[in-house]
Amino acid sequence: MSESLVTLALIAVKLGLIFAVILFMAAYLVLAERKILGRMQLRYGPNRTGPFGLMQPLADVIKLLTKEDFVPARADKWLFLLAPGITAVTALLVFAVVPFGPTREIFGQQVPLVVVDLNIGVLYVLGVSSMAVYGVVLGGWASNSKYSLLGGVRGLSQMISYELSLGLSLVPVIMMARSFSLTDIVMAQQNLPFLLLNPVAFGVFFICVLAESNRIPFDLPEAENELVGGFHTEYSGMRFGLFFVGEYINMVVLGSLLTVFFLGGWHGPWLPPLAWFLIKVLAVCAMFIWIRASMPRLRYDQLMNLGWKILLPLSLLNILVTGAVLLGWG
Amino acid sequence: MIATLMFYLLGAVALGATVMAIIQRNPVYSVIYLVKSIFSLALIFYLLGAPMIAALQIIVYAGAIMVLFLFVIMMLEVTPTNAATRTAPGWFHWGPVLLLALTLVALTLMLIGLDPVSSEGVPRWHASPRDFGYTLFKEYALAVKIISFQLSFAAVGAFHVGMTERRRARQEDAS
């Protein structure tokens, strides 16, 4: 009994720690993004609040919390209030299966550094991340505004087009690791990360991840210069904040997924495993920010062409080639 | 014990959500309730020892087909109406919240039950993805192939119909 109580306590502690770390990282990614974007556009970015502007996320939270929580008159109130939560929660849920370090011994117990190591980990990730679109769509629809609706519908069609290539680009990874478990996938990359073994799958997955996170060059659902704010036009205060933070949580989570699937997870020389994991995730996030600073937004037909006519056949072909190579090798 | 309790809990949620999906007037609500029902069904599959089916249920039905439904409904320009819900009885308001809460309770119990140290909880006879794959693609290989052939026929058929429509439109433009 006490044994299982200790395990339960450890799970609770792990959950709490992950929750805190991800929210902290998301808050400071906002600041990092504003700083880096500022530097890339030859300006300073926020530097007034605290030393180097480090208190800016705190100030933002206070500002958003004290603003009016506004619901449009003709909006569908319940869905309108629910939608930002869906976005943030689905992004957080994905992290439940992401392993961020090898098994460690704490209080005489073998503790794997992952909340649950499901044997269908990859499918869980795909399933939960496909739920995220409901937040965008329902938020856009419930606002009862043309701009929001257009943003939501765009998010929907974009998700349908890229979800497929996202899943298919992971098939070679599963074939090489011979397992659906994320821990096994990391273990399989002990010597060589899958990025070097299968760069095509990495490329397709990276593009799909960018599309999934609704960031430039795939931010059509919230294209500011056509749709005001897209699906979150009508949101204010902390509900807008939840959408906003959800996007950055998504960045952290998708960065971790890229790290686990292609960059070898926590494996690396000299430094401790947790440090390697963190460095890789932050590098991917920095890459996202860099891309935002240097790319224009895709046109809608370009988006569809890229998804259906280039990425989908490419990932299918990649599965065939990987299968053939694995057969010839083994 | 926990497993039995969870089964009835999830069954109640699935039934309730399905009934709500049928009696709702607003199609968007119907879709949401259907997604909820699919979710509880997936959790029941998990409970019965088929994690693979559970995951596929969510990815394929909730993640793809319902999203497609929603896409079509959005195109129909259904606007949110509060008039119907304002006059509705009280359970119309807290019913959805209750269903969602029940699903979350079941999910939490399941995550606790997943813990290998505690003896009670989810049964241990889960079919691993590997076993599932062997059975599906070795024993039932022919059936799988026939079904996938049928699906590709359907895809080619749909493509063909779409093509002739477009060609017809082009001919009308030319004349």
What the block records as the tokens of B60 is: 């394929």
Cβ–Cβ under 8 Å, residues B50 and A113:
no
What is the reported pLDDT for B126? Answer: 60
Q: A146-155, A270-279, B117-126: which has the minimum mean pLDDT?
A: B117-126
pLDDT confidence tier of residue B120, bands split at 50, 70 and 90 = very low
Nearest-CA distance A153 → chain B (Å): 7
The predicted model scores a pTM of 0.81
Task: Give the whole-angstrom CA distance, residue A40 versus residue A43.
Answer: 8
The rounded percent of chain B whose pLDDT value lies above 70 is 68
Q: Using the beta-carbon criterion (under 8 Å), do A131 and B28 form an inter-chain contact?
A: no
What is the reported pLDDT for B139? Answer: 81
Q: Using the beta-carbon criterion (under 8 Å), do B129 and A120 form an inter-chain contact?
A: yes
Q: Which one, of A171, A176, A198, A199, lies nearest residue A186 by Cα? A: A176
Nearest-CA distance B32 → chain A (Å): 9
Show which residues on chain A lie within 8 Å of chain B, measured between beta carbons: 3-4, 7-8, 11, 74-79, 116, 118-120, 123-124, 126-128, 130-131, 133-134, 137-138, 141-142, 144, 149, 152-153, 156-157, 159-160, 163, 167, 180
Nearest to B80 among A118, A119, A144 (CB): A144
Whether A162 shows a pLDDT value over 70: the answer reads yes
What is the reported pLDDT for A246? Answer: 83
Q: Which residues pair with A106 in a beta bridge?
A: A109
Q: Using the beta-carbon criterion (under 8 Å), do A156 and B52 form an inter-chain contact?
A: no
What is the reported pLDDT for A89? Answer: 84
A75 → chain B, closest CA residue: B80
CA distances from B50 to A231, A233, B118, B124 (A): 37, 42, 20, 11
Domains of chain B, residue spans = 2-127, 140-175
Please state, as a whole number, how many other Cβ atoms lie within 10 Å of the Cβ of residue A290.
Answer: 13
A53-62 tens-digit pLDDT: 788 888 888 8
Q: Using the beta-carbon criterion (under 8 Å), do B117 and A137 form an inter-chain contact?
A: no
Whether B16 shows a pLDDT value over 70: the answer reads yes
Q: Which one, of A216, A220, A194, lies nearest residue A205 by Cα? A: A194
What is the reported pLDDT for A317? Answer: 92
Angle, helices B27-47/A121-142, rounded to nearest 10 degrees: 160
Buried residues in A302-323 as b, exposed as e (16+ CB within 10 A): ebeebbeeebbebbeebbeebe
A168-198 tens-digit pLDDT: 888 888 888 888 888 888 888 888 888 888 8
Burial of B124 (0-12, 13-18, 19+ CB in 10 A): exposed
Cβ–Cβ under 8 Å, residues A8 and A111:
no
Task: Give the whole-angstrom CA distance, residue B69 versus residue B59.
Answer: 14
Mapped onto helix, strand or coil, the DSSP state of residue A111 is strand
Average pLDDT over every residue of A132-145: 82
B175 versus A27: the higher-pLDDT residue is A27
Average pLDDT over every residue of A244-249: 85
Q: Which one, of A279, A164, A265, A173, lies nearest residue A212 by Cα? A: A164
Angle, helices B27-47/B91-114, rounded to nearest 10 degrees: 30
Nearest-CA distance B131 → chain A (Å): 12
Q: A109-113, A168-172, A237-241, A325-329: which has the minimum mean pLDDT?
A: A109-113
Nearest-CA distance B74 → chain A (Å): 7
What the block records as the tokens of B167 is: 């060609």
Please name the amino acid found at residue A46. Answer: P
Q: Looking at mean pLDDT, say which of B21-25, B64-68, B79-83, B129-133 comes out highest.
A: B64-68
Whether B116 shows a pLDDT value over 50: the answer reads no
A160 → chain B, closest CA residue: B64
Residue ranges of the alpha helices (H) in chain A?
A: 2-40, 56-66, 77-94, 121-142, 146-177, 182-188, 194-197, 199-212, 224-227, 237-261, 273-294, 300-305, 312-329
A154 → chain B, closest CA residue: B71
- Cis, bond preceding A57 (omega within 30 deg of 0): no
Task: Give the whole-angstrom CA distance, residue A228 versus residue B55.
Answer: 37
What is the reported pLDDT for A66? Answer: 87
Nearest-CA distance A191 → chain B (Å): 24
Is the domain spanning B2-127 CATH 3.90.79.10? The answer is no
What is the reported pLDDT for A68? Answer: 81
CB pairs under 8 A, 24+ apart, for A110-113?
A111/A10, A111/A14, A112/A183, A113/A14, A113/A274
Does ipTM top 0.90? no
What is the reported pLDDT for A264? Answer: 80
Show which residues on chain B lie within 8 Å of chain A, measured between beta carbons: 28, 32, 35, 51-52, 54-56, 58-59, 62-64, 67-68, 70-71, 74-75, 79-82, 93, 96, 111-112, 114-115, 117-119, 126, 128-129
Task: Give the whole-angstrom CA distance, residue A315 versus residue A160.
Answer: 16
Q: Using the beta-carbon criterion (under 8 Å), do B67 and A8 form an inter-chain contact?
A: no
- Residue B122 carries which DSSP code? S
Nearest to B118 among A4, A76, A120 (CB): A4
